[in-house]
Amino acid sequence: MARPRFKRILLKLSGEAAMGDQDFGIEPETVARVASEVKAAKDAGYELCLVIGGGNIFRGMAGAAKGMDRATADYMGMLATVMNALAMQDALEHLGVETRVQSAIPMASVCEPYIRRRAERHLEKGRVVIFAAGTGSPYFTTDSGAALRAAEMKCDALFKGTSVDGVYDADPKKVPTARRYETLDFKRVLSDDLKVMDASAVALCRDNNIPIVVFSIREKGNLAKVLAGEGVSTIVQNEEQS
């Protein structure tokens, strides 16, 4: 599928992308593999920033569903994203990639606070920036945090690495005949409630003309393929961008 060349990318990963075949936590080998893909993209000339979810450690909505105060549970989930960000930073720096973690919840002993202009400067200097702790506020998902940071960093696209190779009209794990979309427009995603990202994240990307590219991060080397317009993925964009 032909796709315009993007320069500055925000890569959104789920926390599950860090746990490999485990049921919980962080698997260093899996994090190292993803880090190698990020390094390859950076070496190819892309500017990259990342947002990683925390579902492999703690998911705020799941805690709230079991009776926890929603705000407290969400803050706990934000802290989980900081742990994942530090793990990814460590893996990238082992590969020689200069990396900075910026947290929306200040914790000066382990990472930088989120400062937009500083983050932009890091990107301009060729560093990878990992944004942690979501938006810093409860009731927002890391999808919304990723869309917000993509807009603030003036990213050309938001790449969402998942366990499936795009957006389907049904769950491909449950429906063998599910059809994958090559392209979608934001209106269709919102009106049909397609599970690309949460609605606020999709709307924010729509309003700022930031395409969302959904692809599988589990396939080795797939990030480079998709960036080159060769891999299997679904691109979500405004109709006038199609």
What pLDDT does residue 195 have? 83
- And the tokens for 1? 């599928």
pLDDT digits (tens, 9 = 90+) for 170-190: 888 889 899 999 999 999 999
Q: Is the pLDDT of residue 241 over 80?
A: no
Non-local (6+) Cβ contacts of 71 within 8 A are: 138, 139
Q: Name which residue leads in pLDDT, 11 or 62.
A: 11
Q: Which domains does the chain have, with CATH numbers?
A: 8-241 (3.40.1160.10)
Question: 90: which 2 tokens?
Answer: 């460590």
- pLDDT exceeding 70 applies to what percent of the chain? 98
Query: 49-84 pLDDT, tens per residue?
Result: 999 999 999 988 888 889 999 999 999 999 999 999
Mean pLDDT of 38-50: 96
- Determine what percent of the chain is predicted with pLDDT higher than 90: 79
> pLDDT band at residue 242, thresholds of 50, 70 and 90?
low
Mean pLDDT of 85-91: 98
| pLDDT tens digits, 134-169 | 999 999 999 999 999 999 999 999 999 998 899 998
The residues, any chain, with a CB within 8 Å of residue 137's CB and separated by 6 or more, are 104
HEC letters along the chain:
CCCCCCCEEEEEECHHHHCCCCCCCCCHHHHHHHHHHHHHHHHCCCEEEEEECCCCCCCHHHHHHCCCCHHHHHHHHHHHHHHHHHHHHHHHHHCCCCEEEEECCCCCCCCEECCHHHHHHHHHCCCEEEEECCCCCCCCCHHHHHHHHHHHCCCCEEEEEECCCCCECCCCCCCCCCCECCEEEHHHHHHCCCCCCCHHHHHHHHHCCCCEEEEECCCCCHHHHHHCCCCCCEEEECHHHC
What pLDDT is recorded for position 23?
Answer: 86
pLDDT over 70 (residue 3) = no
- For residue 157, what pLDDT is reported? 97
Q: How far apart are CA 146 and CA 72, in angstroms?
A: 21
pLDDT band at 1 (very low <50, low <70, confident <90, very high): very low
d(CA 242, CA 186): 11
Q: Parallel, antiparallel, or unpaired for β 128-132 and 47-52?
A: parallel
Per-residue pLDDT, averaged over 24-32, amounts to 95
Q: State residue 21's pLDDT score.
A: 85
Tokens read off for 180: 């994958």
Angstrom distance (rounded) from CA 160 to CA 156: 13
Residue 92 has pLDDT above 50, yes or no: yes
The mean pLDDT of 4-14, rounded to a whole number, is: 90
